[in-house]
Amino acid sequence: GAVVSQHPSWVICKSGTSVKIECRSLDFQATTMFWYRQFPKKSLMLMATSNEGSKATYEQGVEKDKFLINHASLTLSTLTVTSAHPEDSSFYICSVAGGSADYGYTFGSGTRLTVV
């Protein structure tokens, strides 16, 4: 599978500010990446599908203006949480579809966001 790097691993920000999370595919040109959100002791919730060179596809109920996704290259997708509020505090994880073969998806290490 692919090797995925996600940064930062944790971040604390003030309410009203924006935070950018990066997801890099280190050894595979990823045309598709996914962004998930995970609440404590809960499973992963798909937020959006990020497609290189085009607009992201957001899942129902996810505010596209709050969670901005940019996939400008085959190795980098970014998620920007805009005007963050405490309720945006969560664990955000990216994943890459494919890799050395079209097998199970590879996930980043996750980013823990705390908004104070």
Partner 1 sequence: QKEVEQDPGPLSVPEGAIVSLNCTYSNSAFQYFMWYRQYSRKGPELLMYTYSSGNKEDGRFTAQVDKSSKYISLFIRDSQPSDSATYLCAMRKAAGNKLTFGGGTRVLVKP
- Figure out which of the listed residues 8, 16, 26, 42 binds partner 1, where binding follows CB under 8 A: 42
**Residues constituting the chain:** 116
Task: Tell which one of 13, 49, 70, 76 touches partner 1 (CB under 8 A).
Answer: 49
> CB–CB of 96/2 below 8 Å?
yes
Contacts of residue 43, Cβ cutoff 8 Å, sequence gap at least 6:
none
- Residue 10 Cβ, how far from partner 1 at the closest point, in Å? 8
CA distance 53 to 61: 23
Is the CB of 55 or the CB of 83 nearer to partner 1?
55
Asked if residues 82 and 65 have their Cβ atoms less than 8 Å apart, the reply is: yes
If binding is defined by CB under 8 A, does position 46 make contact with partner 1?
yes
Is 32 a binding residue for partner 1 by CB under 8 A? The answer is yes
Binding residues for partner 1, rule: CB under 8 A, are: 1, 4, 6, 32, 34, 41-44, 46, 49, 91, 93, 95, 97, 103-110, 112
